[in-house]
Structure 1
Amino acid sequence: MTTSSRRMRAVMGATGAVALALAVTACSSGSGDAGGDEVTLRVAWWGSQERHDNFLSLIDEYEADNPDVTIEAEYSDSGGHWDRLATTTAGGDAPDVIAFDKEHLFQYGGRGALLDLSTLDAIDTSAVPEASIEQGSLDGELYGLPFSQNAYAVVANEDLFAQAGVELPDDETWTWDDFYEVSHEVATTLGGDVRGSDYGEAGNASLEMWLGHHGESLFAADGSAEIGYDVDTATAWFEHLEHIRDSASGPSPDEFIEEMSGVFEEGRFLTNRSALAFYYASQLPALETASGSTMALLRPPSPTGSVEDNGLAHIPSWFWGISSKTQHPDAAADLVDFLSNDPRVAETMLVTLGVPASTANQEVILPELDATGQEVVEFISETSPEVTFVPAPAPPGSGSVGDSVIRHMEEVLFDRLEPADAAAQMTAEIEDQLARG
């Protein structure tokens, strides 16, 4: 049997939106692999063609090492992945091993559709930091094993700073007042179309970072469908956005809207028209390539000038989960262990999905990376001991929260809502979304 006929159940395209009917009739699988020595596992993920090709080559290696296991790959773009997963889960026919992001993990795990990975002996979590493990866990059960981790950080255009004759800030001691001041200084020195900083438009990531300054989180720490922050803290965040607009030479409201609706490569930061921006650390190579400029990763500012208060979190960007309906939990666990811990996987994927969550695999890939890739890994490694903020897990019903955050950002920046009113309205909207699940 050829590789293609054996496992190429590729899903290329969306299958139509389907409600996530996860009333799983049998929330746990059998205690062992069902039937004979031959095992077939279905594995589902999403992404680009490059990602598909990489995972398919790794599957070939795994099958070569495990001749009794046949793997059927089901892959698509992001929309197709989630649509199909909703359909197959509702029908009791989910893939055995499934890739998740944080936004979807607990929509499935919290409703009985995923196994508790901590009960499976084949999965080794010893090289994964506890803070990352916590972000794949809900109510004490590990639904997703982090494959990679990332950090939402400040990125500085070093070339613009040099042109303005302004030194990069000390990111271990700077405060938000320092941030506003240096942003304004670079923008006004260079003049023209250069802005000081963007607003951090990645959905709710910037708000989550701000809440982390104050020991709060977007959602309740116990995983319940409740908010985990004080409305006054959200009000202060909207006031912070006004400071970027008015005191840090940030983009105008119209420029903000243009940025949100535009092409990634044509954004202000990627076209060298903004000195500072907020991005995930793993995006650094793409940012440098698109802009043609040298970039630097910086820790976020804090209210106190202390790294312990800067709200930096190491956020897993990719999880592997196992369906609670699998007939082969032990084989599925062995595959997840391979996909998470085997050095060959790390060497193939490098930092395309974020920095490996496994600290051992971080060391493995360093010699394989160029200088920019090494900077990403070193940033994650260097800041790991400082991280004190672990965002609470996103409960079911939270999938549209990012849209609510961005919409209220727009209302504040256009002066259509006062920060306090925006915080109150946004919070009521989020609470309603969580209540409806």
Structure 2
Amino acid sequence: MQDVNRRTFLTFTGLGALSIGALALTGCAPGTSGSAGGGGGAAAGTIRFAWWGGVDRQKAYIASLDSFSKSFPEITVEPEFGDYDAYQERMTTQMAARDVPEVFWIPSPQVLTYRDAGIYRPLDDIDALDLSAFTDAEIKLFQLDGELNTLPKSMFSPILRYNKTFLDQDGVTIPEKLTWEGLSELLIDYAKNNSGGHKGTTYGAYHDMPFESYLRQRGEDLWTKDGKLGASTESVAEWINWWETLRKAGATTSISEQDGIQPGWGDTGGKILMSFANSNHIVDEAPVFPDYEFDQRDLPAFADAEAGYHFTYYSRFAMYQGTEDDRVAAAAELMNFNLNSLDLLKLVGLSAGAPPSAKLLDSYESSASADEQKVIASTRDVATREQRARSEAPAGSGTWRDILVRELEGVTLGDRSVKDASKNFVSAVTSEIEKA
């Protein structure tokens, strides 16, 4: 993932900012709102809606807007979308010009960066916004430093995914209580003794959410409440060493075999027993190998793991601060559609994560695919776990994954020690945050 300030030549794909007149269709009467401060008025007007994703997601959301327009014929939606990196590039340009779409998705490294840039409109004064599916405690959880200025569009958590077909073929059993040491031993043993010449896993020290879980289990946080890097050099070194043990034992695909530090699933997914991922990734990745069955479970944990280390990541969206008063109600209805619509969920599925509304997830479950059922199971499992507070990435931290990959490349090439790579990572990320 790239920081939004990094300029690239990536071309923004799709329809861009083009207006789609067909999205102003017919249907039921629009909702209304009577709040002060720009939250009132009939739900009408032209609303720009920005999100990212591949072609399938783009098509699904475009199709879903037909359903939205049937309920709100007075609202015209102009879609703006592109791939993840290009989306951030475009947002940077739009922020500088103060020409941001009324409703937009927020890339994970930019949640606080966008907030500090002042582009979020407060949401707690908008009567048209329907948050009835959430408890007061949940709404408080969605706040950033006590302010409700973003909402979750989806949620997911880190998991350990495994090829059940390989598991059954080779008679491998995963212990119910799996430790990091136990997983390492299992993967090394499997790579030496399996019927298909498979590896235990890919070299995956770049995995961000499992890395964060590893830190939280050690009593640290990736990001502190006061906007600093919470990872110590010692913990970063332990994380890298865990992966180096696997790599040197031949339990992972080699760096050349997986074509770099960040392997492509299509190139490696059929060669390994397990992989770290986010709980929603199975929806798009399992079908790449239709001859295999995949399943997922909770991550390994230290025997003395710190309480509350589990976490749910909320992928957020927001309303632009500069939304005209007479369009606030219309923008709110579009946000309601994203939050509460079963029609939308049936079109887009759980590829981007489970909906934050438990009621909506329950309604969708009967139509969920087999792989989506596994997303639902993981979502519900994590929901039952104790979770201590988690902070978003601070401004200036958007390149932290690139920095980690750079240091991992140095280690795997033999250019630097794990100790030096860990120090370099902590120093570089801290410096970037301080300069922001």
Q: Which of the five TM-score ranges fits, normalised by the shorter chain?
A: 0.7 to 0.9
| 2:206 pairs with 1:208 | no
Alignment match, 1:287: 285
Matched AA of 2:244: E
Shift of 1:326: 0.5
The alignment yields a C-alpha RMSD, in angstroms, of: 2.8
1:74 and 1:401 map into 2 onto residues whose CA distance is 27
Say if 1:432 and 1:136 are closer, same or farther in 2 by CA, change over 3 A: farther
2:144 and 2:411 map into 1 onto residues whose CA distance is 34
Shift of 1:36: 7.9
Identity of aligned residues (%): 22
Structure 1 range deviating more: 369-378 or 421-430: 369-378
Shift of 1:125: 4.0
Report the secondary structure of 2:193's partner residue. Answer: helix
Matched AA of 1:238: I
Name whichever structure is richer in helix by fraction.
1
Say if 1:345 and 1:394 are closer, same or farther in 2 by CA, change over 3 A: same
Alignment match, 1:24: none
Alignment match, 1:105: 111
1:101 and 1:37 map into 2 onto residues whose CA distance is 27
Equivalent runs, 1:372-411 vs 2, <5 Å: 372-411=371-410
Alignment match, 1:198: 202
Alignment match, 2:7: none
Shift of 1:133: 5.9
Report the secondary structure of 1:386's partner residue. Answer: coil
Alignment match, 2:151: 145
Alignment match, 1:183: 187
Shift of 1:381: 0.9
Shift of 1:129: 8.0
Say if 1:117 and 1:363 are closer, same or farther in 2 by CA, change over 3 A: same
Alignment match, 2:20: 4
Shift of 1:212: 1.3
Q: Please give the TM-score of this superposition, normalised by the length of structure 2.
A: 0.83
2:419 and 2:306 map into 1 onto residues whose CA distance is 28
The number of aligned residues is: 404
* Structure 1 segments unaligned to the other structure (5+ residues): 9-29
Alignment match, 2:101: 95
Alignment match, 1:264: 265
Shift of 1:150: 1.2
Residues 158 and 294, structure 1, Cα contact 8 Å, conserved in 2: yes
Alignment match, 1:249: 251
Say if 1:379 and 1:262 are closer, same or farther in 2 by CA, change over 3 A: closer
Map Cα deviations across residues 32-77 of structure 1 (whole Å, 9 max, x no partner).
Answer: 1698874222211222232222222332222221233222222233
2:43 and 2:282 map into 1 onto residues whose CA distance is 45
What is the aligned counterpart of 1:320 among 317, 338, 357? 317
Say if 1:406 and 1:137 are closer, same or farther in 2 by CA, change over 3 A: farther
Report the secondary structure of 1:197's partner residue. Answer: coil
Alignment match, 2:366: 367
Alignment match, 2:424: 425
1:215 and 1:131 map into 2 onto residues whose CA distance is 24
Alignment match, 2:178: 174
Matched AA of 1:211: L
Map Cα deviations across residues 115-170 of structure 1 (whole Å, 9 max, x no partner).
Answer: 13344333344545889867754322233211111112111112222222221221
Say if 1:358 and 1:70 are closer, same or farther in 2 by CA, change over 3 A: same
Structure 1 range deviating more: 126-135 or 152-161: 126-135
Alignment match, 1:233: 235
Say if 1:407 and 1:148 are closer, same or farther in 2 by CA, change over 3 A: same
* Structure 2 segments unaligned to the other structure (5+ residues): 1-18, 25-35
Say if 1:253 and 1:67 are closer, same or farther in 2 by CA, change over 3 A: closer
1:79 and 1:313 map into 2 onto residues whose CA distance is 25
Shift of 1:4: 3.5
Residues 205 and 211, structure 2, Cα contact 8 Å, conserved in 1: no
Map Cα deviations across residues 336-384 of structure 1 (whole Å, 9 max, x no partner).
Answer: 1221112222222221211111111111211112222111111111221
